[in-house]
Amino acid sequence: MKKDFLSIRDLTREEAHELVERAHWMKAEDFRSNLLEGKTVILIFEKASTRTKVSFEVSINHLGGHHVFMTPAESQLGRSEPLRDTARVLSRYAQGMVVRTFGQDKLVELARHGSVPVINALSDDFHPCQVMSDLLTIFERTPEFEALNIAWVGDGNNMSHSWINAAVHFPFRLNIAVPRGFEPRADILQEAKDLGANINFTHDPLEAVREAHYINTDVWASMGQEEEKKSRADAFAGFRVDDRILEAAHPEARVLHCLPAHRGEEITDAVMEGERSIVWDQAENRLHMQKAILEWIYG
């Protein structure tokens, strides 16, 4: 039976914890294997990427496999061919698809009609590989999640949704602060709470970061929202991760950003370059977590 990774909820609680521990071990060992020898994974990216593209390409290489990279001009995702046809054809050519796209529905349809695993490399709803990598970054410093307060400050976007999903499997307290009108999807939030996730929601960023051990943020206008940049900048005033935010947090709080960052908007240059920032370890950990995810799928 094939495994797809479309959101963190595709993992059991035990699998989620095992992935973090396995990726941690892989990083320490500079892990290589021949797991994907003779296998080809197709990377289909409708959205531009630096870290996701390179980290997946290198991950596949480290596991002995090959990849084919396809842009929108080279794939049928944005054109007239039904997705079910694309899924069936590509399944005859390769052993997996890593897809970075807009609608989560595209990933679901590719997974439904294809016979090979599909990995969500980002959609408008979720960014599971990124948040699993972020959990690895936190685990490296504080492996006991039970005592942690983790804050999300910014947009109720795909990253916030994946943090909400992660809170179902990991026992940290998640504090979410977003401006009014930019809340995460109510159904995703409510389902997580029904499953026991410890989540506090507020419109006050200072409340969210109070005693937070880790502070997360992201750009205020994601890909496809460029026309909203000015209105979003006005709405998000006060949500910038700066010295004021850090002063309200735990004295040893660390800062994460999934990148690319718009310095001076959602985060200041001083915070990005400061001693509280763990952004570069966070970016590196995409490589190690994606190797663990690929091993979970193909191992």
Q: What is the pLDDT of residues 124-183, one digit of tens each?
A: 999 999 999 999 999 999 999 999 999 999 999 999 999 999 999 999 999 999 999 999
Supply angle C-alpha 20, 23, 25, rounded to 5. 110
CATH architecture of 8-127+287-298: 3-Layer(aba) Sandwich (3.40)
Residue 129 marked as a ligand binder = yes
pLDDT over 70 (residue 225):
no
The confidence band for 231, taking pLDDT boundaries of 50, 70 and 90, is confident
Give the active site residues: 100, 127, 130, 218, 258, 286
The pLDDT mean for the chain works out to 96
The confidence band for 245, taking pLDDT boundaries of 50, 70 and 90, is very high
> Is the distance from CB of 46 to CB of 52 less than 8 angstroms?
no
Would you say the CATH fold of 142-277 matches that of 8-127+287-298?
yes
pLDDT over 90 (residue 227):
no
- What are the residues facing 139 on neighbouring strands? none
Residue 223 marked as a ligand binder = yes
pLDDT over 80 (residue 295):
yes
Candidates 3.40.50.1820, 3.90.420.10, 3.40.50.1370, 3.40.50.2300; CATH matching 142-277: 3.40.50.1370
Residue 52 marked as a ligand binder = yes
Percent of the chain at pLDDT > 90 equals 92
**Can you read off the two tokens belonging to residue 200?**
């506090």
pLDDT over 60 (residue 253):
yes
Domain edges within the chain: 8-127+287-298, 142-277
Residue 100 marked as a ligand binder = yes
Compute how many other C-beta atoms are within 10 angstroms of the C-beta atom of residue 190. Answer: 12
pLDDT of residue 78: 57
User: Using omega within 30 degrees of 0 as the cis cutoff, is the peptide bond preceding 117 cis?
Assistant: no
Crossing angle (nearest 10°) for helices 13-29 and 158-169: 100
